[in-house]
Structure 1
Amino acid sequence: MPHSIATWNYRPALAEFIGSAMLVMAIVGSGIAASSLSPNESGLQLLEMSVTTGLALTVLVLVLGPVSGGHFNPAVSLIFWVIGRRGGTGLTTGELATFVVAQVVGALSGVMLANVMFGLRPVSTATQHRASAAHLVAEVLATTILIVVILGLVRGNRVALVAPAVGSYVSAAFWFTSSTCFANPAVTVARALSDSVGGISPSSVPAFVVAQVAGAVLGLLVGAALFPVESPLRR
């Protein structure tokens, strides 16, 4: 029997909404600030964005992880849904749908807030074309490694380390991937709405999302081979 509104637990969806919004605010906001503070210094801008994003993601997972698992990423939620369908401790189909909607709406809200905070229009179409073959390979690899990191820690009963590990990985991947590690379909869609250093042109979004989903599936396969033992996915 479907749950009524009165009994529906809204907290996980709210946590995913807030986490996704704040993650995108950190990415886009730090990019806008970096462009202003360090004009013509692309390396310094990347450093500022990577440190800010990694630290923000670490805090968000630490604070909101106990509520929803701290996904903030449809690719991560998709993998946990697949695990649940295979009999493991994962997401139901309803939870997956709720999480993805919350993540996308949260990310879109976050990019608009970031734009407004820096005196820009709430929505502006990004013009940075990124969907080259090199960028797409980078997105597959970035997402694959992200999923392997999460599965390795979760299945190894080291969930407390997920937040710092994922935050550190994302900060590092800003530098060693040519795409600067989007690795998140919701974040990718949202970043198309900010014509700033952190933006991505709408024409590049579909290819990035496909690469991210492919990377997530590959990460699941690698993770299953390396870490076959099931364990709870939430604290």
Structure 2
Amino acid sequence: MSKYLAELLGTFLIVLTVAGAGHMVFLLGADETVGLAAIAGAVGLVLFVAISMFQSISGAHFNPVVTIAFGIRRQIDLKTGFVYVAMQLLGAFLGAVVANLMFGVYAVAAGTVQRLTTQTFVGEIVATAGLLLIVLLLVDQEKLSLIAPSIGAWVAAGHLFTSSTSFANPAVTFGRAFTDAVTGINFASVPGFVIGQLIGAGVALTLFYFLSTKKEQNV
């Protein structure tokens, strides 16, 4: 059970941070530039901490596209992968609920920000492809100690250079639909974001096939 709990807690921390930071920058009246930088920094740092804590327990997926990619490569069995995704979704939902409660709003509040456009769809493809490719290549190269800082840095930077602010995670996208913080997302935008993320995962797997330093024996 420890690996399932680790997946729940890791995803919980990510959504707690992004939703909580969204509430905080609104409460402080921060302008958009300062607010975006603050949220990017907070999420990047928490990703570094969460991956560092839980990597040796569950692999620190915290993201259905990572779990699916490992399943496709037969590095995780179907049952474990299914429970991982379920725990990630539950953790994301709970993260939004606790963030809302911390800032004195309704525990469950529908996201109000309409985010889906052609530009943000492309942004999610880029953000997700980059994130998954980093994970796959560092695992392939046996540089596991670099995953936490690399993913933290990628997601923090993605907040600033992608049009979508780098959700790059179907579970996190789902969780952010349950908060009306400025970092939330309207339910109507969720399916489009998830489709973009799945396309990004496909791009990453394709690139990894050509970049891998090892023979692909499990694909």
* TM-score band w.r.t. shorter chain: over 0.9
Corresponding residue number in structure 2 for 1:43: 33
Trace 1:14-53 onto structure 2 (pairs within 5 A).
14-39=5-30, 41-53=31-43
Whole-angstrom distance in 2 between the partners of 1:129 and 1:58: 29
Whole-angstrom distance in 1 between the partners of 2:213 and 2:173: 30
Whole-angstrom distance in 2 between the partners of 1:76 and 1:139: 15
* 1:147–1:223 CA contact under 8 A, matched in 2: no
SS in 1 for 2:73: helix
Trace 1:138-153 onto structure 2 (pairs within 5 A).
138-153=123-138
CA shift, 1:230, in A, is 6.3
SS in 2 for 1:213: helix
Matched, 1:177 2:168: no
Which TM-score applies when normalising by structure 1? 0.90
Q: What runs of 5+ residues in structure 1 fail to find an aligned partner?
A: 1-9, 85-89
Corresponding residue number in structure 1 for 2:101: 116
* 1:155–1:230 CA contact under 8 A, matched in 2: no
Q: Which has the larger radius of gyration?
A: 1
* 2:141–2:213 CA contact under 8 A, matched in 1: no
Q: What runs of 5+ residues in structure 2 fail to find an aligned partner?
A: none
Corresponding residue number in structure 1 for 2:185: 200
Matched, 1:105 2:90: yes
- The two structures, once aligned, show a CA RMSD in angstroms of 1.1
Corresponding residue number in structure 2 for 1:5: none
CA shift, 1:43, in A, is 0.6
Corresponding residue number in structure 2 for 1:79: 69
For residue 11 of structure 1, the aligned residue among 2, 12, 16 is 2
CA shift, 1:199, in A, is 0.5
Whole-angstrom distance in 1 between the partners of 2:183 and 2:162: 15
SS in 2 for 1:17: helix
Whole-angstrom distance in 1 between the partners of 2:210 and 2:29: 44
Q: How many matched pairs?
A: 216
- Runs of 4+ that moved beyond 6 A: none
* 2:158–2:165 CA contact under 8 A, matched in 1: yes
